[in-house]
Structure 1
């Protein structure tokens, strides 16, 4: 009875669909007659044409109307399925309805728009009556078949064979019913019910039933063997995917899911990877052909992802994966992508294909396993991986839309060659400047890996430059990607082979290879630039090629020369791209010079001694530090000068900053070398050494201001400001604070005048004052005021510390106490310094110095009243107050005369 009920339900659906088709055909005929006989006016009233039509129908000339009627009937013949209907039925549930509501013909335009907007609104009745009912009905049919089998099992009505036969018949009937309804002219009659395409849902239910029947016949009852079940399930899956051509993408997804799940459902005692991946190749190819016909990108991406997951599962679970079958399935994936999915209309579909991301990921992962798996080393795994990489490059070369495949091939190659290097298991001790414990990790012989590296390097280099030039005028993304990998992959391969198999100290053979790469990339960049539109503009592809040439230069210098010459030549290399700007205006050239600055900075950060601490001579000044810092500084300065006359952009500013930085670093390193007896270590900085650094920084500020006045530059302007601020911070924190001999009790030297106090306080005071005076009118007022204040503080410190040294000798620590005469001397000194600062401030017109003098005198006044009154006795206390009073009265008289002369000057200037 259940079977009869299901069959009756299907027959009822067919009858209803047939009746709906006939009603729709009658409505179309009536609409056509209405258009021919009763045209309607815009205001809804019948016009004169209706009257004329009626008269013509009653007159003898009414034959013309009859002929028109006959023509209308021929235009809408009463055939079972019209040509338009057949096309619509074939298109499946996503095809648009070929007809509109006939009432829209006789209504005004405004009413028609209102009705259209009304039909687009969500309608619960439509959803319940069309989409949901059909969906639930389809699920019910599929579950009904399963419950029927279950019921027959529990009741023991039929044997297993009969039950499976009945289930198979049900699946075939459902599939046939879906096809029958589709062929009889079924279409979705209601707008918004496109997802309730009954033929597709019936076909899907039939496919589910057939899948379950075959699996039960094998897995539950054992009626058929694994081979037969495997083939039958595959046929059901592929047939379901093929049926999607007329039923839609959703049915194709169901078939694909069943086809991909088949190997999991069917187990074997002796599984064959060739059978598995041969079957997956067929499924992938069939899906690719169907997806290409309908341009179903989601279906194609799902197929690639499913096969890719099978590849990963095989590599993880198989005790000994066969690299031959891995090569096979990866080549199949690339063939389906390049020849099937992207094989049609390549020009019309030019651009970036998102579907190729999935195969790029999985093929790259399998290639990396073939490269790096030690078990494959003696079986030809690396060469097989090289074959897959070549196929990936070929796929992208002739199908540019599959650009992700290029990225996958490049990354797999990079990781494979980086994995064999000692850097993969290196331990670097940064406390020693060149201590690296390495342990080479190789998976194949030296010669074989070198040959593979040469082949892949040449492949990326040649294919990359050729493709970059080919696409440079049409696609920046394509050309830039090819050029970038054409430079990066050969360079990484060369570096990996050199570090693994070459002489890390000096290897001229690998240096020759790097030199060849330098020449090829430089010539290739120029070759690509000539194909640009307009030519020789230096776009992204040219920039990547020339950047690769710059990296090849760095690699070549490291391979061919020792530490010192490498640093010096790297600095000198900045001149080459700067000079090239005389003939080419490529934007990358200036940045290549900046790259040289970065490379040299990295080297000196790793080894500031240039040649290594144990090889550095102890001779002051004339050692490797001088050329190691001076040559790069001069080269960077020349490059900045050249760039200022050609490109004059940000690279020029960076080169100016690099030149100034290396000049300061060079002088500082030479000073430290001399101050520490020719040894560069991480020992504490002394006050004398810090004084030299402060003098260097102040001098650098003056030099930057001077150069900026001749050749204005924001780098020089801000660099001079930074130098002044750093000097002020150093003076306050180091000279007056941390390294002050009052707190450290450091020896000030045995020489009376030219001692540590002279070097650390008086000379910086004079330098800060001179810079403040020189910067007036050239830098902001706060800058000169700050430096003038630093000079005054240093002069005050020098005078005060010199008094203490006079009384205490070489060591002047605070804990040695203070006598009455020394206490009085400070008061007299500070008053004297206040007067001197006042006079100098008036002479040079410095408001800051006058304020400093006032502050110093105020400190002296406070000291006399608060300290001297209690600490001094006898004549010293009297002299202290007498001297203070005399100085204050003298300052008052001085200011009175100064203020009295001011009106005289103003009147004199007014008369003039």
Structure 2
């Protein structure tokens, strides 16, 4: 027993020493400031230089002609004299800048305080741990000691606050010592309560939960005196309480507790202006909502998570948008923080809809879906700087439609609508009411907004027009499964009529009171009417595609932007283009498998040709005159080229595979036509770029050229070369697959090399010329082999002596043709290619014909080669490098 009291006394003495040291240090420092002030007053009476704290006022009181005072002898003092700034005879024009804090000041005023606070918290925990390991105290004594330590630290923190806050003001860069000591006491109290429950079982989970929650709330309340850092600590403690204590397995109490914690944090943040505390509370609430959704194991748990998400979303939107409620429309620029505060809870609610869908679908799920849409929409309508809330509501509505729970089995009803969702009627009502409500909210804001800022008006217009279109499209995909649906055709017509009526209202209002918001609204609703009609066309045609609808909508939007002179709508065209690009990236095959067997005139022409034409036309319509093309026309131009390339690619596959574009095999003719198409695209784009000067055309010509080079050399040279594959070649001795697959691409490649001269990099020109020469060589060689071997050209087939001779003759004639072209067009590339073919023929004659040919063929081979080489030399001497004649 005596040892126990001895160790208890020793522990308390150590605690007293640990706490009294910092207290004594702080008190001495505060008294030192008062002593310094008294010394300054005495110095003024004795006409001594003032202390470093006030050089400027003293200098200002000196006369301008007063000489410098004589230096006085050093006075003996018990402490170092304070640093005195030099004083000039005349006062300075401006006040001197405060010196940067020295290492000593940073060390003594900041670092030691932060480290000391952390040390106090760790010391309290280590003291308890040491007592447990050494077995000095029983469980009850340990808990009591922990409460005593926490109470002592809290009392010291309050004492320091009262003693120090009344002295000289502390710089904002210095850490608050009273708050630091109070935070250490809070940590000790929180740990002691948890230990009493989790380690020793003195209190049950209910009392522990209440005690820990009360501690968190109390700390946040104490932060009104000690500052926001302590409030953050209390928020963490309050949010972490359910994780530490656990519970009986029911999450329903948390649906009340967690919103209460967030509301308290929001209230303190609102009262004191602590935005960081409000943001931290919103983040904690969102994380808790996601956690509850992930751990939900049954329908009641899922409902609790959904209700919690709704409450937290409502709180966050109210707190972060309320401050902008009185902002007039003319000053209602979009606020980023309000937008983020609306977006994050809505996305969390949408995520909850997905994570809790499997646990049950009921009233709480529908309430969460409605709240995810209604909360940002209401905030965006009521608060002008939060106008992006309408767009966020549209995104949330789209997510809810996509995540709407599916039915256990599929069945059909009238009007060919396939019901593969739970409560399809409720889904239709939800999508229709939400779309109409958001459109009405945006229209009312635009028509009564006066001089709304441009970005704000665009946000209202985007939410009001894109949301109904997105809801209609996604509902069609969920219920009609991309099949013909007269009901959705009628719905698209109704949407188009409504948008047309709104456009007429805006036009009439703009004629009476012109305003930018009315102009934007007119253009947006007119464009939406065109888009709705395009969607109706898709819904009415089997195998239709949203790509066609988006392209036609982009074309209509571009026409409206041009006719009504609304430059902002050009970016709507760009947005629709980005949607189409994303659709192509997700699945390049935008049409179904039932395309028909007719070449060219099939559904590919609609699925790719119509969008390609629409985007190509709109790129010309929306281009601003007398300026370089900016993003909107360039995006439309790029999509037009991409869709045209897809059209040609799939039409080739469709024609060669009997209508099956999904066929796994590909042959010589297909690869030859693909190379021909890519080279043709590159040639045409080089010519167009010379006229229009578009960076898209320039890049596309380079891209198509590189693709053609690789395709020609890799596929035609190796992969499908009939000499290596031994596949049968269709056609007669001259007009056959070889002529189409090799001859036509060779001619187009040579034309590309000539067209690209002085317009493209040298490597590109040489690449095109080289590919043309290689394809020409392969065409001549394979045609000769086809003439001797027939349809099968495999490498393992025997080569006769006339065939060997024919190769030499064919290569030499090809070289002569290239030489003639090079002389006629003054093309160095063609002449070099001719030299390569002639050199190859020479090597063949000397290396192969000398041993492989017999009789007259060997002689004719050498005679022909010699005659050709002499003729070539004569041509070079007379026409290429002829010496200048003497005058």
So what's the TM-score if we normalise by structure 2?
0.68
Aligned residue in 2 for 1:580: 560
Deviations 1:120-141 (A, max 9, x none): 7347677899888899789999
Look up the SS of the partner of 1:584 in the other structure: coil
In 2, Cα distance between equivalents of 1:278 and 1:176 = 32
2:424 pairs with 1:446: yes
After TM superposition, list the pairs within 5 Å mapping 1:517-528 onto structure 2. Answer: none
Are the structure 2 counterparts of residues 145 and 524 from structure 1 closer, same or farther at C-alpha, using a change threshold of 3 Å? farther
Decide which moves more: 595-604 or 851-860: 595-604
In 2, Cα distance between equivalents of 1:388 and 1:899 = 79
Deviations 1:591-634 (A, max 9, x none): 25745864895799325xx5634x5034x555445565554454
In 2, Cα distance between equivalents of 1:264 and 1:837 = 82
In 1, Cα distance between equivalents of 2:874 and 2:186 = 117
Look up the SS of the partner of 1:606 in the other structure: coil
Look up the SS of the partner of 1:682 in the other structure: coil
After TM superposition, list the pairs within 5 Å mapping 1:528-607 onto structure 2. Answer: 535=516, 556-563=536-543, 572-582=552-562, 583-586=565-568, 587-591=570-574, 594-595=577-578, 598=581, 605-606=588-589
In 1, Cα distance between equivalents of 2:878 and 2:350 = 93
Are the structure 2 counterparts of residues 448 and 891 from structure 1 closer, same or farther at C-alpha, using a change threshold of 3 Å? closer
Are the structure 2 counterparts of residues 363 and 733 from structure 1 closer, same or farther at C-alpha, using a change threshold of 3 Å? closer
User: How far is the alpha carbon of 1:588 from its aligned partner?
Assistant: 1.0
Equivalent residue for 2:374, pick from 382, 390, 409: 390
Aligned residue in 2 for 1:432: none
Over aligned residues, Cα RMSD in angstroms? 6.6
2:847 pairs with 1:869: no
8 Å contact kept, 1:869–1:877 = yes
In 1, Cα distance between equivalents of 2:705 and 2:142 = 96
8 Å contact kept, 2:812–2:838 = yes
Are the structure 2 counterparts of residues 46 and 536 from structure 1 closer, same or farther at C-alpha, using a change threshold of 3 Å? closer
Are the structure 2 counterparts of residues 268 and 633 from structure 1 closer, same or farther at C-alpha, using a change threshold of 3 Å? closer
User: How far is the alpha carbon of 1:860 from its aligned partner?
Assistant: 4.0
In 2, Cα distance between equivalents of 1:356 and 1:566 = 29
Decide which moves more: 814-823 or 122-131: 122-131
Are the structure 2 counterparts of residues 260 and 856 from structure 1 closer, same or farther at C-alpha, using a change threshold of 3 Å? closer
Of the two, which has the highest radius of gyration?
Answer: 1
Are the structure 2 counterparts of residues 543 and 176 from structure 1 closer, same or farther at C-alpha, using a change threshold of 3 Å? farther
Are the structure 2 counterparts of residues 472 and 228 from structure 1 closer, same or farther at C-alpha, using a change threshold of 3 Å? farther
Aligned residue in 2 for 1:818: 799
Equivalent residue for 1:418, pick from 382, 402, 410: 402
2:225 pairs with 1:246: yes
2:488 pairs with 1:510: yes
Equivalent residue for 2:272, pick from 277, 294, 297: 294
After TM superposition, list the pairs within 5 Å mapping 1:574-723 onto structure 2. Answer: 574-582=554-562, 583-586=565-568, 587-591=570-574, 594-595=577-578, 598=581, 605-606=588-589, 612-613=593-594, 615-618=595-598, 620-625=599-604, 630-644=609-623, 646=625, 648-653=629-634, 655-656=636-637, 659=640, 666=647, 673-676=654-657, 680=661, 682=663, 684-697=665-678, 700=681, 703-704=684-685, 707=688, 711-716=692-697
Look up the SS of the partner of 1:605 in the other structure: coil
Are the structure 2 counterparts of residues 210 and 138 from structure 1 closer, same or farther at C-alpha, using a change threshold of 3 Å? closer
2:435 pairs with 1:457: yes
Look up the SS of the partner of 1:903 in the other structure: coil
In 1, Cα distance between equivalents of 2:28 and 2:877 = 120
Are the structure 2 counterparts of residues 362 and 204 from structure 1 closer, same or farther at C-alpha, using a change threshold of 3 Å? farther
User: How far is the alpha carbon of 1:500 from its aligned partner?
Assistant: 3.4
Are the structure 2 counterparts of residues 461 and 421 from structure 1 closer, same or farther at C-alpha, using a change threshold of 3 Å? farther
8 Å contact kept, 2:221–2:231 = yes
Unmatched segments (≥5 aa) in structure 1: 53-100, 427-437, 908-912
8 Å contact kept, 1:630–1:662 = yes
User: How far is the alpha carbon of 1:538 from its aligned partner?
Assistant: 10
Look up the SS of the partner of 2:567 in the other structure: coil
Deviations 1:629-659 (A, max 9, x none): 5544544443344345747445445555555
User: How far is the alpha carbon of 1:486 from its aligned partner?
Assistant: 5.7
So what's the TM-score if we normalise by structure 1?
0.67
8 Å contact kept, 1:308–1:363 = no
In 2, Cα distance between equivalents of 1:314 and 1:807 = 78
Deviations 1:679-738 (A, max 9, x none): 555264444455555555555555445555655545555655666665555555555555
Are the structure 2 counterparts of residues 286 and 511 from structure 1 closer, same or farther at C-alpha, using a change threshold of 3 Å? same
In 2, Cα distance between equivalents of 1:8 and 1:653 = 75
After TM superposition, list the pairs within 5 Å mapping 1:887-906 onto structure 2. Answer: 887-892=868-873, 897-898=878-879, 902-904=883-885
User: How far is the alpha carbon of 1:506 from its aligned partner?
Assistant: 2.2
In 1, Cα distance between equivalents of 2:875 and 2:132 = 121
8 Å contact kept, 1:639–1:655 = yes
Are the structure 2 counterparts of residues 180 and 340 from structure 1 closer, same or farther at C-alpha, using a change threshold of 3 Å? farther
Look up the SS of the partner of 1:616 in the other structure: coil
In 1, Cα distance between equivalents of 2:760 and 2:342 = 61
Are the structure 2 counterparts of residues 34 and 596 from structure 1 closer, same or farther at C-alpha, using a change threshold of 3 Å? closer
In 2, Cα distance between equivalents of 1:603 and 1:667 = 19
Are the structure 2 counterparts of residues 551 and 163 from structure 1 closer, same or farther at C-alpha, using a change threshold of 3 Å? same
Aligned residue in 1 for 2:73: none
User: How far is the alpha carbon of 1:292 from its aligned partner?
Assistant: 3.1
In 1, Cα distance between equivalents of 2:112 and 2:154 = 23
8 Å contact kept, 2:745–2:772 = yes
Are the structure 2 counterparts of residues 509 and 247 from structure 1 closer, same or farther at C-alpha, using a change threshold of 3 Å? same
Q: How many residues align?
A: 831
Decide which moves more: 109-118 or 294-303: 109-118
8 Å contact kept, 1:280–1:307 = yes
User: How far is the alpha carbon of 1:382 from its aligned partner?
Assistant: 1.7
Look up the SS of the partner of 2:374 in the other structure: helix
Deviations 1:862-892 (A, max 9, x none): 4443333333444444444444445545555
Decide which moves more: 277-286 or 869-878: 277-286
Aligned residue in 2 for 1:499: 477
Aligned residue in 2 for 1:93: none
User: How far is the alpha carbon of 1:505 from its aligned partner?
Assistant: 0.7
Are the structure 2 counterparts of residues 220 and 469 from structure 1 closer, same or farther at C-alpha, using a change threshold of 3 Å? farther
User: How far is the alpha carbon of 1:413 from its aligned partner?
Assistant: 5.2
Are the structure 2 counterparts of residues 606 and 640 from structure 1 closer, same or farther at C-alpha, using a change threshold of 3 Å? same
After TM superposition, list the pairs within 5 Å mapping 1:848-859 onto structure 2. Answer: 848-859=829-840
Aligned residue in 2 for 1:59: none
Are the structure 2 counterparts of residues 589 and 46 from structure 1 closer, same or farther at C-alpha, using a change threshold of 3 Å? closer
8 Å contact kept, 1:370–1:385 = yes
Deviations 1:534-578 (A, max 9, x none): 947999x99999998897677554433322587666655553233
8 Å contact kept, 1:571–1:600 = no
Are the structure 2 counterparts of residues 566 and 844 from structure 1 closer, same or farther at C-alpha, using a change threshold of 3 Å? same
Decide which moves more: 491-500 or 371-380: 371-380
